Each structure stands twice: as C-alpha cells, then as structure tokens.
C-alpha cells in the first residue's frame, strides 16, 4: 500500500496544502503527468490540475463523488454539479496502479 503514497511534486504540494485542513490524514497521494495529482484523505478527495498559469485543487466530499473510472493510463473523477469528469493522466509505469487507486477511492466513499 505504500506505493500509493508518493511525495507530491512541488506545485501540486503547494496548492494541496492551501486547501487541506490540518486534521486530515492522507491515505493516498499519486502524481499524474504535467503537475496533476490525486490525494485522498480521511475526509476528502483532492484533485490537483495544472492550468496554463496556475494550478487548482478541487476538494470533493464522499457525497459529491458520483463516478470513478479507469481507462488505460487515465483516471476520471466526476463530482455532482461539475458536469464533465476531471481526467488525470499517469506516466507509463503507473497504469497498473490505477485499478487499486479507483478501488481505494470507491471504498472510502462507501465507508462515509
């Protein structure tokens, strides 16, 4: 399970730290490609995306999460009210982890 806890890249880490509450425990943190990351805590799922000029961090509660899908090297997360899913691509060596990541997120949602 330790393979699902990575040190976040500096840009993703900075944006995540601005959003996370001090009482949250990180259960999963994986870097995607191009400054993107997915972080799961005991309270929220965080999705960090990098735009042209800045990175953003979306906080999703278990009740907001509507769908988690895996296809090849992409993880897609859909939250209520957002319409289209947030897609995170992962480097070639990580797609084998995607089913484990999706399963962990779904289990977290069911536990809440």
Angle, CA 14 vertex, CA 11 and CA 85 arms, to 5°: 70
Q: What is the pTM of this model?
A: 0.91
Q: Return d(Cα 55, Cα 5) in angstroms, integer.
A: 21
Burial class (CB in 10 A: 0-12, 13-18, 19+), 31: buried
What's the CATH code, domain 2-111? 2.30.29.50
- The pLDDT profile of the chain, 112 residues, written as one tens digit per residue, is 556 899 999 999 999 999 999 999 999 999 999 889 999 999 999 999 988 888 899 999 999 999 999 998 999 999 998 778 999 999 888 878 899 999 999 999 999 7
List the one residue out of 3, 2, 1 whose CA is nearest residue 93: 3
Q: 26 near 40, Cβ under 8 Å?
A: yes
């Amino acid at each position: 399970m330790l393979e699902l806890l990575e040190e976040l890249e500096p840009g993703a880490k900075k944006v995540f730290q601005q959003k996370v509450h001090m009482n949250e425990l990180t259960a999963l943190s994986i870097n995607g490609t191009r400054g993107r990351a997915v972080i799961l805590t005991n309270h929220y799922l965080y999705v960090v995306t990098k735009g042209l000029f800045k990175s953003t961090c979306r906080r999703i509660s278990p009740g907001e999460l509507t769908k988690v899908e895996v296809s090849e090297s992409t993880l897609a997360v859909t939250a209520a009210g957002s319409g289209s899913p947030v897609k995170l691509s992962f480097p070639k060596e990580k797609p084998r982890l995607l089913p484990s990541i999706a399963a962990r997120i779904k289990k977290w949602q069911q536990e809440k």
